[in-house]
Structure 1
Amino acid sequence: MRISSFMYIEMMKKSFQDSVSQLFDSQEQLSSGLKINRPSDDISAMGQILGYKVDIANTTQYQKNISAAQSFLQTSDTSMSSVVENLQRIQELMVSGVNGSTDAAGRQNIAAEIATIKESLYSLSLTRLGNRYLFSGSQTYTASFALTGAAASAGGFYTYQGDSTQTSVNVNSTAQVIENISGSDAFAFSLDTTLSIRLTTGRFAHYIPTAGPSNSNMPSAIAVNISNSSSPTAVSLEQVSFSNYMDMVNIIETAFNKDDVDMINAMMKPLLMSLDKVVTVRATIGARLNFLQQTINNNDNNNVDQSTYLSNAQDADIAKVATDISKSEVALQALRQSSAQVMSQTLFDFLSIR
């Protein structure tokens, strides 16, 4: 087979193009620090790289979600800690208030302190993080509670304006965490069945679950009936009801002002149940915070792994790239020299004189 000058030229041209292209690719990797700069370089590897980048971006967003949820829960826990302190102080005052050494004037003094605690509880129910109310369920831009009607001491009561919706945030690809505690959980407890206890005076206190106020989103309320009978359906000597801690404390305050020892004794049971509920709520918050911290650690580890995989898939080996550039430049120079020799020959160089 005869090789023409045209074929020589085509082969040299292709060799030049291949060498220049290889040199360009190596120089691009050196300048970008990446061994894959476009999908056409390696479609399969580019797919892996995009997958790693998506995973890292998602994990970064999960960490932001967790940080926001932690702030929400930690602030909620701080508020609930204060609620516990306030309820415990009321318990101390009630114990001392029914002591035989405390007279009507002393109970009125106690009532004044309880009124202050009631306002503190109301303030805690309106806790905000930024401009979001913590205890309003999904209605985070609506005040959790509002004083309805007259002042509480004059027959007004506190109504819940939020809802019981639980708001969740994604913390990894498979898990969500509830970040809020609704006001119906944080500032109220419910009863499944009627409870009855005997008071020190021989009368009975009956605690009956009822429907919540019609103008409130509280799902339930508790009626407290004092009677001479052990039967909850007997005629009541006194009857009150409440759907949240502020209303409950308001009843206690009124009982102290009226020197109503029976009602003070009767309200001790709901107060203790309130303390139990708040402790349970704090335990729930603590469990969520612990899970969030564990998830942060897992996400951090996952991000490190994904970043390592991404680096292995896309980062260029600079030392190898520099060597490849050197080799390409030498090969290109040799090609130039050899092509100059071949191209300089003519037909006369192949003729012989006999």
Structure 2
Amino acid sequence: MRVTQSMLTNNMLRNLSNSYNNLDKYMDQLSTGKKINKPSDDPVVAMKGMNYRSQVSNVEQYQRNISEVHNWMDNSDSSLGEATQTLQRLRELAVQASNGTYEKGQRENIAEEVDQLKEHLVEIANTKVNNKYIFNGTSTTGTEQADGSYTKPVTVDNNGIVTNVSANGEAVNIEVTNGTKLQTNINPANVFGTQLFEDIEALSVALKSDNPDAGMQTAITNMDTHIDNTVNERADLGARMNRLELIEDRLASQEITATRMMSDNEDANMEEVIIKLTTQESVHRAALSSGSRVIQPTLLDFLR
């Protein structure tokens, strides 16, 4: 095959172009820290990267869901703790008032505290977190009325009498991992039901009556029942909180694994890239030097 000057020149230019492309690739890897900068650089790496990113994105979304569940459960647990203390105080007052030495005025003072504690329980039952009622099931904005308006789960009149208890007992389930949904709320009917407020109002009425002794033992028994109901509901919530912590730990491990796999797939080995870049620079200089010898002098070079 006859080799011409044009062939030598074209080969030199093509090799220089390839050398520039390699320099550009290594410079991009060095500046971005990534093996590829567009899918066409390596379709296999790009496809795996999309899968790994989806895994990381899913884990991050579940972690955000878990944060919402934590917020809901922590506030529910705190509120149930307050409710338990309030019920225990009501029981103490009933035991105290069962002492036959108390005069009517003293019993009325106890009744005043009972009424205040009842209002406190109403406030707990109407607890809102992030503008949502946490003890109203799926009706987090309130209980819808026939006229389209919304009311609190527990409503009272101007005299402090509970007029309506309409707590929604439907479970609020949030997905915390793939295929696993966790109930975030309690059943408010087991704690803040109509019977609770009727029993407290009955205690208050008995304390204000002329013969309160007959109602005190019943009130003590009722308070014991409500305390047990609240403690049991809180125990069930605590069990779910413990499970949530286990799921959270597992998600943290999955996040570390998925992030590492994504990094191994996409991130460039900087030491290797620097070595390749340095080597390519040397190759490029050698190509330029050899290229200068390929371009033969012409008659014009001698006529200068």
TM-score bucket (shorter structure): 0.7 to 0.9
Percent of aligned pairs with the same amino acid: 25
**How many residue pairs get matched?**
288
**1:316 aligned partner:** 268
Hey, which of these two has a bigger chunk of helix by percent?
2
- C-alpha separation between the residues in 2 aligned to 1:69 and 1:341? 73
1:245 matched to 2:224: no
Contact 1:80 1:282 in 2 (8 A): yes
SS at match of 2:30: helix
- C-alpha separation between the residues in 2 aligned to 1:325 and 1:130? 54
SS at match of 1:171: strand
Counterpart code for 1:146: T
- C-alpha separation between the residues in 2 aligned to 1:303 and 1:75? 27
**1:147 aligned partner:** 156
**1:307 aligned partner:** 259
- C-alpha separation between the residues in 1 aligned to 2:124 and 2:81? 10
1:74 matched to 2:74: yes
Using the TM superposition, give the Cα deviation of residue 28 of structure 1 relative to its aligned residue in structure 2, in angstroms: 0.8
Mapping for residues 41-80 of structure 1, pairs under 5 Å: 41-80=41-80
Of 319, 329, 343, the residue aligned with 2:295 is: 343
Using the TM superposition, give the Cα deviation of residue 260 of structure 1 relative to its aligned residue in structure 2, in angstroms: 4.3
Of 249, 263, 280, the residue aligned with 1:297 is: 249
Using the TM superposition, give the Cα deviation of residue 249 of structure 1 relative to its aligned residue in structure 2, in angstroms: 0.5
Contact 1:134 1:182 in 2 (8 A): no
Q: 1:11-56: per-residue Cα shift (whole Å, max 9, x none)? A: 3333222211111101111111111111111111112222222222
Using the TM superposition, give the Cα deviation of residue 123 of structure 1 relative to its aligned residue in structure 2, in angstroms: 1.7
Q: 1:131-155: per-residue Cα shift (whole Å, max 9, x none)? A: 222212222222221115x635xxx
Q: 1:182-204: per-residue Cα shift (whole Å, max 9, x none)? A: 4323313xxxxxxxxxxxxxxxx
**1:164 aligned partner:** 169
SS at match of 1:177: strand
Using the TM superposition, give the Cα deviation of residue 250 of structure 1 relative to its aligned residue in structure 2, in angstroms: 0.7
Contact 1:160 1:183 in 2 (8 A): no
Contact 2:97 2:107 in 1 (8 A): yes
- C-alpha separation between the residues in 1 aligned to 2:85 and 2:213? 23
Q: 1:238-277: per-residue Cα shift (whole Å, max 9, x none)? A: xxxxx24222201121122222433433343332221111
Mapping for residues 63-212 of structure 1, pairs under 5 Å: 63-102=63-102, 104-142=104-142, 143-147=152-156, 151-152=159-160, 156-188=161-193
Contact 1:158 1:247 in 2 (8 A): no
Contact 2:154 2:162 in 1 (8 A): no
Using the TM superposition, give the Cα deviation of residue 119 of structure 1 relative to its aligned residue in structure 2, in angstroms: 1.4
Using the TM superposition, give the Cα deviation of residue 279 of structure 1 relative to its aligned residue in structure 2, in angstroms: 0.3
Mapping for residues 228-267 of structure 1, pairs under 5 Å: 243-258=194-209, 259-267=211-219
Counterpart code for 2:221: K
Q: 1:40-90: per-residue Cα shift (whole Å, max 9, x none)? A: 111111122222222222222222222222122112111111111111122
Counterpart code for 2:159: A
- C-alpha separation between the residues in 2 aligned to 1:86 and 1:99? 21
- C-alpha separation between the residues in 1 aligned to 2:109 and 2:294? 115
Q: TM-score, normalised by structure 2?
A: 0.84
- C-alpha separation between the residues in 2 aligned to 1:90 and 1:343? 103
Higher RCO, 1 vs 2 (CA within 8 Å, ≥6 residues apart): 2
Unaligned segments of structure 1, at least 5 residues: 189-242, 347-354
Counterpart code for 2:261: Y
**Structure 1, 93-102 or 288-297: larger mean CA deviation:** 93-102
Contact 2:91 2:219 in 1 (8 A): no
Contact 2:84 2:231 in 1 (8 A): yes
Using the TM superposition, give the Cα deviation of residue 282 of structure 1 relative to its aligned residue in structure 2, in angstroms: 1.1
Using the TM superposition, give the Cα deviation of residue 115 of structure 1 relative to its aligned residue in structure 2, in angstroms: 1.5
Change (3 A) 1:264 1:83: same
Over aligned residues, Cα RMSD in angstroms?
Answer: 2.4
- C-alpha separation between the residues in 2 aligned to 1:245 and 1:23? 78
Mapping for residues 7-22 of structure 1, pairs under 5 Å: 7-22=7-22
**2:146 aligned partner:** none
Counterpart code for 1:147: V
**1:34 aligned partner:** 34
Counterpart code for 2:188: G
- C-alpha separation between the residues in 1 aligned to 2:186 and 2:44? 47
